Amino acid sequence: MEITSPINTEGFETQPLEQFAESAYLNYSMYVILDRALPHIGDGLKPVQRRIIYSMDQLRLSSDAKYKKSARTVGDVLGKFHPHGDAACYEAMVNLAQPFSCKYPLIDGQGNWGDPDDPKSFAAMRYTESRLTKYSEILLTEIKMGTTNWTPNFDGTLEEPVILPARLPNLLLNGSTGIAVGMATNILPHNLNEIADALIHLIDNPEDVREKILKIIKGPDFPTSAEIISDPAQIKEMYRTGKGKIKTRAKYHLEKNDIIVTALPLYASGEKIMEQIASQMNKKKLPMVSDIRDESDHEDPTRLVIIPKSNRVDKEALINHLFATTDLERSYHVNMNMIGIDGSPRVKTLKTILLEWLEFRINTVRKRYEYRLDKVLNRLHILDGLLIAFLNIDEIIAIIRNTDNPKKELIAKFALSEKQADTILDIKLRQLAKLEEIKIKTEQTELNKERKTIETILSSEKNIKKEIKKEIKKANASPKLQKEKIPKHFQKLKSLIKNRLL
């Protein structure tokens, strides 16, 4: 019998298995929480969503660009920033494009991007095409203005933004869902006008009580037109604690003797509701209904017709029964859990979210103006050097022609900085001879005016808040940030398929 020698552990760190497993699982859970499942309060995005939007911006897929194959975007995201599965990345991209899942879509899709009856029925990424929506501009407009920190990508060959410089709290506008290790998030979407009004109110009244905000923001605002039937007191309590439940119900009206359903709760499938009603009819549990039809088309995206057996049927009792037994009524748990500006995950109240986002925005705007001020001061410094060059053009040309080290001579002769001397030497002789004093002084005047404006804004947080207020009002008034409709020809195609006319 062969006897094996014990493993030599000299030079290796040893620790109990229990301690190692605990440490490894903790690291894994923190990775899932911070880098996968929870959105950031600043731009309201998870890392994969942020990388998709940034990659599309790098591909120049703006709202007025030509559509490009979704496979190209997914390939760029995986190859440059997010080395994970292509199926999961594409599904995240689809969620940002579906108008029935996302109140203010960030991606404009062309092709089959799923259906409210089956959100996962979207075509493969080799078939669909996409570009960014105009709404995505609130996340990307200031990205090249020194507003965000950058971090190396997974292999250190590129840099990616840590947070996108959002002009509006996208987290509240579009909501978010996610399951991490030991925690989850479910934030419902809200109306842009209400959120903008609440932010302006907080800027003007930072110490105001929550009751005023809750009068402005009365509740969530879903992509569909379903009604919220929760008690207002419960909604207020949800906003005060960051947790709660919202109950929604389909919209309907009576048309002659029929019940017409015109709007469904979020994520409710008209096809599934039809199956639920038909199942009850087959089991003789719904004797008061004689027939059901789906008359949805491009003009009426949702139109479910429920036909009672006779005029004597109590329509109110019938629809209440259907609310209780089908997806015509649905509840949504709310858990406003997110990563704050301090980098820690925490459940936050509505007022805390708004105030913390304003703090994020104040820092972003300050960085933007500091970056611009630095550019202005650098340009003024260069113009000072060009003005000296204009006033001493002949002497400078002589130094350049006759001196072995003209840079050193220019700095010594005219008290120039190295940057000013380099700029003068980099100018072609023909351009140097054509320098015009009036143009230089006009540009100096304009830049000095801009410099004073920026310095005034940066002189106090109050002035920065005024700028934020103007930007919020401008964004709120812009029609391009409103929900983009599903193109009518796609809705017509859907109705034709349903009616088997193709």
- The DSSP annotation for 320-389 comes to HHHHHHSTTEEEEEEE-EEE-TTS-EEE--HHHHHHHHHHHHHHHHHHHHHHHHHHHHHHHHHHHHHHHH
Tell me if 191 is assigned to some domain: no
Residue 113 lies in a domain: no
How far apart CA 483 and CA 189 sit, in angstroms, is 12
Q: What pLDDT is stored for residue 73 in this prediction?
A: 97
Answer whether residue 425 is part of any domain. yes
Kind of pairing, strands 159-161 and 258-263?
A: unpaired
Told to judge if 127 belongs to the known catalytic residues of this protein, a careful annotator would answer yes
Of residues 502 and 483, the one with the higher pLDDT is: 483
pLDDT digits (tens, 9 = 90+) for 333-377: 999 999 999 999 999 999 999 999 999 999 999 999 999 999 999
pLDDT reported for residue 349: 94
Residue 51 has pLDDT above 80, yes or no: yes
Per-residue model confidence (pLDDT) at position 492: 44
Residue 129's DSSP bridge partners are: 69, 110
Range of weakest confidence among 387-396, 439-448, 473-482: 473-482
Residues 349 and 242 sit within 8 Å (Cβ to Cβ): yes
Q: How confident is the model at residue 325 (pLDDT cuts 50, 70, 90)?
A: very high
Rama region for 501: left / alpha / beta (φ>0; ψ in -120 to 50; rest): alpha
User: pTM of the entire structure?
Assistant: 0.87
State both tokens at 85. Answer: 């599965």
Examine residue 421 and state whether it is found in any structural domain, yes or no: yes
- Predicted pLDDT of residue 432: 67
Domain boundary pick from 267, 293, 327: 327
Taking CA atoms, 38 is separated from 139, 169, 183, 187, 200, in Å, by 18, 15, 9, 11, 27
- Say how far apart CA 450 and CA 64 lie, in whole Å: 31
- Between 129-138, 329-338, 490-499, the lowest mean confidence (pLDDT) is in 490-499
* Average of per-residue pLDDT values in the chain: 88
Q: Are 276 and 329 in contact (CB under 8 A)?
A: no
Which pLDDT band, with edges at 50, 70 and 90, does 487 fall under?
A: very low
Q: Which residue has the higher pLDDT, 28 or 55?
A: 55
**Over 60: is that where the pLDDT of 60 sits?**
yes
426 domain-assigned: yes
Of 25, 67, 127, 267, the active-site residue reads 127
Same domain, 310 and 390: no
pLDDT confidence band for 401 (50 / 70 / 90): confident
Q: How far apart are CA 415 and CA 404, in angstroms?
A: 18
Question: What's the pLDDT score for residue 168?
Answer: 95
- Do 377 and 452 have their domain in common? yes
Domain that includes residue 385, residue range: 370-459
What is the arithmetic mean of pLDDT over 131-149? 95
Q: What is the pLDDT of residue 8?
A: 66
Average pLDDT over residues 176-200: 92
Q: What is the CATH number of the domain that holds 427?
A: 1.10.268.10
Cα atoms in the 13 Å half-sphere on the side-chain side of 24 = 7
Q: How far apart are CA 273 and CA 478, in angstroms?
A: 37
Asked whether the predicted pLDDT for residue 18 surpasses 90, the reply is no
Higher per-residue confidence, 372 vs 5: 372
Q: 257 and 310: one domain?
A: yes
Domain for residue 17, yes or no? Answer: no
CATH of the domain at 320: 3.30.1360.40
Six-digit token pair at 320?
């209440």
Confidence at residue 462, expressed as pLDDT on a 0 to 100 scale = 93
Q: Report if residue 282 sits inside a domain.
A: yes
**How many domains in the chain?**
2
Residue count of the chain: 502
Q: Using CA atoms, how far apart are residues 409 and 16, in angstroms rounded to an integer?
A: 70
Look up residue 493 and give its amino acid: L
- Mark whether 322 and 396 lie in a shared domain: no
261 and 322 housed in the same domain: yes
Torsion of Cα atoms, 273 then 274 then 280 then 286, to 10°: 100
First to last CA, the chain: 77
pLDDT tens digits, one per residue of 290-318: 999 998 887 888 899 999 988 888 999 99
**305 assigned to some structural domain:** yes
Confidence of residue 109 (pLDDT cuts 50, 70, 90): very high
Averaged pLDDT for residues 409-429? 89
Q: Quick one: pLDDT at residue 221?
A: 93
